Structure 1
Amino acid sequence: MRALCWHGKGDIRCDSVDDPTIEDDGDIIIKVTSCAICGSDLHLMDGYMPTMESGDVLGHETMGEVIEVGRSVKKFQVGDRVVVPFNMACGQCYFCKKQLFSLCDRSNRNAEMARKVMGHSPSGLFGYSHMLGGYAGGQAEYLRVPFADVGPIKVPDGLPDDQVLFLSDIFPTGYMAAENAQIEPGDTVAIWGCGPVGQFAIQSAWMLGAGRVIAIDTVPERLEMARSHGKAETLDFKDVNVYDALMEMTGGRGPDSCIDCVGTEADAGASADSMLDKAKAALMLGTDGPHVLREMIFSCRKGGTLSIPGVYVGMVDHLPFGPAMNKALTFKMGQTHTHRYLEPLLQKVVEGEIDPSFVITHHATLEEGPDMYKAFRDKTDGCVKVVMRP
């Protein structure tokens, strides 16, 4: 089959690889009908995620048609259309029973590798390094899906792929980010990053009762999408001092909640501290670039909440922990417990409360995937979200 594979920093290729097969009775195999490039895939492309190996198949936003079913699978049959959550969960361990699915104890087959780095292992992820299971990803013609009775969700007839594909990751991620922000009716919510996750965090903040949403970015197309579709007020961080602007907009109090939809790769031109973070990473003297975290800590109102769906992979330098403690800030973060949100968010799509396809700017083939990775990373050609149809 054809698949997008990682071959080193900045080197994504469309290769011919072996088709997946059933490895466990709980597996299904799907023929991929749509898959997408996620912002966190760029951390792989840019070499920030350790334990990648040349030839690894990428991708964790995937849906398709079931073509083969393991002997113990009860939930699906050949011909079903399914969306696959980006993380895996066994459904039986301590964390799954608490609906903390991204912390599943049994789905990362390389858990010991992750434990040495993090203290404990999170769940396995599709196409996201050997430390997180070494599972082949879904930017491919076919995908093996373990724990099938726990993970995927069946798609009702009549809903096109573009409306439901993002249940795999970015819609639940944006929604959990807004949920973690502990929004109370009428609150002011500031969101850093107007990429795909940021766009869904904007939508979700309104759903959860925000009275005001302020979106921060510098890419014109993303800011326009946040304004026109998200009905958010916007700030271009290259035109204003974000802290000063937020203080002026909130009468000096600061936003009630701040959401980091950027993660480790904050724009190196945003500020002196972000340029230093990039330099340290280039010299192997540091890993993550926490510019947005620093800015949120200073900007958030006293007693407010910081929600962090943006991906970080290692250590952060010069985090203003003293200000965070003295301002009594709450931090809520983590990989998305995707399985928890599949049914309720699918229902919002079915009922017409949201059409997630608004975020798509580009459709492509797998063969065009390497170029689309570059366009997405470099924010050229108005690229906000890429969907590929193998």
Structure 2
Amino acid sequence: AITPCFLCENCLRGYTSQCTDMLGGWKFANVKDGNMAEYFHVNSAQANLAPIPDSLTDEQALYCTDMMSTGFMGAEHANIPIGGTVVIFAQGPVGLMATVGAKLLGAGLIIAVETVPHRQELAKRFGADVVVDFKTQDPVEAILDSTGGQGVDSAIEALGLQASFESCIKATRPGGTISNIGYHGDGEFVKIPRAAWGVGMSDKTIRTGLCPGGAERMKRLMRLLETGRVDPTPLTTHRFNFNEVEKAFHMMKTKEDGMLKPLILFD
């Protein structure tokens, strides 16, 4: 998660994910090494560290720091009305947690777009009512069919591809919200399809964000784990000892053996 300073202007205005502290909020593994050392210095620790309740395992708590926080932010930013319709592209770890977040916020119809069978099954387990395989169906047509031609109230983009971003725009009804949590790292521009945008007059809102952090955020997420409302551990598909960390990273990069999320143990 982002480790904001809670003192800069952006933090004080409520935009902690855009912290402008000297190192910025996005410190670990980017501008600060040593994440897997036995001891590690945490910036602004008093504002970012939260004690793990005895009732939770380390594996459960680990998911609060990114997958849950980012996925839930995607749902929070999507302005999902109670009983509303929402689509999530796609169902990787963050997308699956966005599906959980949409369910927690009271979505009436949750559509998950995914092609990998194991991820499709997890999407259903986590609350998806409809799963669309984008390799066998046109996702926009399938979404429109599921919503009586109206489009969804909310779309969550958790893939970071131009094609999925455009599909979100096309599948969202006028006045709806597109919540982007995917990382768009390729190309100079992210393009908006003109017609689906209503040539600028469809009143569709785009929200973006970066994994929220802070002690209070972590406490709230762990509360969901304690009460049993959320169980993210099915995301863990592989376990490794610390001396296998390079193998774990390689498999995570290549998605070998159907890997979704690896757990590295320090036993």
Structure 1 length normalisation: TM-score? 0.63
Q: 1:148 aligns with which of 40, 45, 48?
A: 45
1:326 aligns with 2:228: no
In structure 2, how many angstroms separate the alpha carbons of the residues matched to 1:124 and 1:382? 29
1:335 aligns with 2:210: yes
Q: Does the aligned pair in 2 maintain the 1:259–1:306 contact within 8 Å?
A: yes
Root-mean-square deviation (CA, aligned residues, Å) is 1.9
Q: Does the aligned pair in 2 maintain the 1:163–1:357 contact within 8 Å?
A: yes
Moved over 4 A (4+): none
Q: Does the aligned pair in 1 maintain the 2:68–2:94 contact within 8 Å?
A: yes
1:359 aligns with 2:235: yes
2:131 aligned counterpart, secondary structure: strand
- In the superposition, relative to structure 1, how do residues 296 and 172 fare at CA in structure 2: closer, same or farther (>3 Å)? same
In structure 2, how many angstroms separate the alpha carbons of the residues matched to 1:358 and 1:231? 15
1:184 aligned counterpart, secondary structure: coil
In structure 2, how many angstroms separate the alpha carbons of the residues matched to 1:212 and 1:137? 43
Residue 335 of structure 1 and its aligned partner are, at CA, apart by 0.6
Q: Does the aligned pair in 2 maintain the 1:100–1:337 contact within 8 Å?
A: no
Residue 137 of structure 1 and its aligned partner are, at CA, apart by 5.1
Q: Which residue in 1 is equivalent to 2:25?
A: 123
In structure 2, how many angstroms separate the alpha carbons of the residues matched to 1:173 and 1:355? 15
Letter in structure 1 aligned against 2:183: V
Q: Does the aligned pair in 2 maintain the 1:202–1:232 contact within 8 Å?
A: no
- In the superposition, relative to structure 1, how do residues 250 and 95 fare at CA in structure 2: closer, same or farther (>3 Å)? same
Aligned pairs (5 A) from 1:53-68: none
1:368 aligns with 2:240: no
Aligned pairs (5 A) from 1:226-241: 226-241=123-138
Aligned pairs (5 A) from 1:79-90: 86-90=1-5
Q: Which residue in 2 is equivalent to 1:66?
A: none
Residue 313 of structure 1 and its aligned partner are, at CA, apart by 3.6
In structure 2, how many angstroms separate the alpha carbons of the residues matched to 1:225 and 1:331? 27
The structure with higher relative contact order (CA 8 Å, sep 6+) is: 2
- In the superposition, relative to structure 1, how do residues 345 and 318 fare at CA in structure 2: closer, same or farther (>3 Å)? closer
Q: Does the aligned pair in 1 maintain the 2:155–2:172 contact within 8 Å?
A: yes
In structure 1, how many angstroms separate the alpha carbons of the residues matched to 2:147 and 2:111? 11
Query: Where does structure 2 lack aligned partners over 5 or more consecutive residues?
Result: none
Superposed CA deviations along residues 226-269 of structure 1, whole A, max 9, x for unmatched, are 11333432111101111111111111111111001111xx4xxx
Aligned pairs (5 A) from 1:1-390: 86-108=1-23, 123-128=25-30, 134-136=31-33, 138-263=35-160, 266=161, 290-313=162-185, 315-321=188-194, 323-324=196-197, 325-339=200-214, 341-390=217-266
Identity of paired residues, percent? Answer: 31
Letter in structure 2 aligned against 1:330: T
Residue 107 of structure 1 and its aligned partner are, at CA, apart by 4.2
1:368 aligned counterpart, secondary structure: helix
In structure 2, how many angstroms separate the alpha carbons of the residues matched to 1:137 and 1:330? 39
Superposed CA deviations along residues 189-220 of structure 1, whole A, max 9, x for unmatched, are 10001111111111110110100111111111
Matched residue count: 262
Q: Does the aligned pair in 2 maintain the 1:140–1:366 contact within 8 Å?
A: no
Q: Does the aligned pair in 1 maintain the 2:178–2:205 contact within 8 Å?
A: yes
2:175 aligned counterpart, secondary structure: coil
Q: Does the aligned pair in 2 maintain the 1:221–1:384 contact within 8 Å?
A: no
**Greater helix share, 1 or 2?**
2
Query: Where does structure 1 lack aligned partners over 5 or more consecutive residues?
Result: 1-85, 109-121, 129-133, 267-289
In structure 2, how many angstroms separate the alpha carbons of the residues matched to 1:363 and 1:351? 25
Letter in structure 2 aligned against 1:360: T
Q: Which residue in 2 is equivalent to 1:27?
A: none
Superposed CA deviations along residues 147-198 of structure 1, whole A, max 9, x for unmatched, are 1111111111231111111111110111111010000011111000111111
Residue 346 of structure 1 and its aligned partner are, at CA, apart by 1.4
Residue 355 of structure 1 and its aligned partner are, at CA, apart by 1.9
Choose 1 or 2 for highest CA Rg. 1
Residue 364 of structure 1 and its aligned partner are, at CA, apart by 1.0
- In the superposition, relative to structure 1, how do residues 146 and 304 fare at CA in structure 2: closer, same or farther (>3 Å)? same
Letter in structure 2 aligned against 1:336: C
In structure 2, how many angstroms separate the alpha carbons of the residues matched to 1:312 and 1:152? 29
